Amino acid sequence: MKQIRLLIVDDHPIVREGLAGMLSGQADFDVVGEAKNGTEAVTLDTQLQPDVILMDLRMPEMDGVSAITAILEKRPLAHILVLTTYDSDADIVRAIEAGATGYLLKDTPREELFRAVRATAQGESILAPSVAARLMTRMRAPAQENLSAREIEVLQLVSKGASNKEIGKALHISTATVKTHLIHIYGKLSVDDRTAAVTVALERGILSLGNIP
């Protein structure tokens, strides 16, 4: 039986320990490493080159999306299965656009998780039912509701009270570009100001309360 080598990435030690114990109980799974943040994940992926990486999203030092991007830049054929508690449109879109192979929630039943890991090792795209439903809703929504990943990033920073200058610095874009993104956001959400944009985005699930301190 071919072993599927796994790297677990999560900032909570108890979660890592629980996943490692559960996955190691499968004869064809071999947990070869654990990382507590994205930075460690990138380093361990280079060293271990696992078949599947189970990636949390919100972690210190380097978040999951940044880690996915960095890993795929070095190893384009890496298979990364997001395993998180977050299912907002913003989180899902950023992870999928970064190149995640699949996206599951941490309340996924263990047998489904096992099947998803095996499918991910074969390069198959696996999505939690709620995630798939969100993506379908997003695709079917009127065009004005569909924000780009960059526009969502801008709106996330707006929700945290960042100024245009601060947003530009955080995203490495000019203030003029930030203004252009905001104009597009207002048009797509049919609003006239920053507060209304955040309110509508929360109502539609584009942002979640977890994005706002």
**Mean pLDDT of all residues in 40-69:** 95
Return mean pLDDT, the chain: 89
Alpha-carbon distance of 179 to 154, in angstroms, equals 10
Which residue type is seen at 164? N
- Domain shared by 128 and 176, yes or no: no
In DSSP notation, 153-186 reads HHHHHHHTT--HHHHHHHHT--HHHHHHHHHHHH
Domain boundary among 110, 138, 166: 138
Domain boundary among 138, 167, 195: 138
Q: 184 or 67: whose pLDDT is higher? A: 67
- Domain shared by 165 and 106, yes or no: no
- Domain shared by 13 and 72, yes or no: yes
- Domain shared by 131 and 151, yes or no: no
Position of tokens 């960042």?
Answer: 162
- Domain shared by 120 and 163, yes or no: no
- Domain shared by 131 and 57, yes or no: yes
Per-residue pLDDT band at 22 (split at 50, 70, 90): very high
pLDDT digits (tens, 9 = 90+) for 67-83: 999 999 999 999 999 99
Which residues face 6 on adjacent strands? 31, 52
| pLDDT at residue 1 in the model | 67
User: Is the pLDDT at 213 greater than 80, yes or no?
Assistant: no
Q: Which residues of 69-83 are buried (b: 16+ CB within 10 A; e: fewer)?
A: bbbbeebeebbbbbb
Position of tokens 């919100």?
Answer: 58
Task: Give the percent of the chain with pLDDT over 90.
Answer: 65
**3 state SS of 5:** strand
- Domain shared by 34 and 126, yes or no: yes
Q: Tokens for 41?
A: 């994940």
User: Is the pLDDT at 210 greater than 60, yes or no?
Assistant: no
- Domain shared by 163 and 118, yes or no: no
Alpha-carbon distance of 119 to 52, in angstroms, equals 10
Domain coverage including residue 184: 143-211
Nearest to 57 by CA among 42, 32, 37, 76: 37
pLDDT digits (tens, 9 = 90+) for 143-169: 445 788 899 999 999 999 999 999 999
Per-residue pLDDT band at 138 (split at 50, 70, 90): low
- Domain shared by 79 and 180, yes or no: no
Domain boundary among 115, 138, 161: 138
User: Is the pLDDT at 212 greater than 50, yes or no?
Assistant: no
- Domain shared by 23 and 103, yes or no: yes
Q: 97 or 42: whose pLDDT is higher? A: 42
Overall number of domains in the chain: 2
What's the CATH code of the domain at 192? 1.10.10.10
Per-residue pLDDT band at 189 (split at 50, 70, 90): confident
User: Is the pLDDT at 14 greater than 90, yes or no?
Assistant: yes
- Domain shared by 175 and 98, yes or no: no
- What's the pTM value of the predicted model, to 2 decimals? 0.67
Per-residue pLDDT band at 139 (split at 50, 70, 90): low
Q: 129 or 33: whose pLDDT is higher? A: 33
Q: Which helix (H) or strand (E) holds 30?
A: strand 29-35
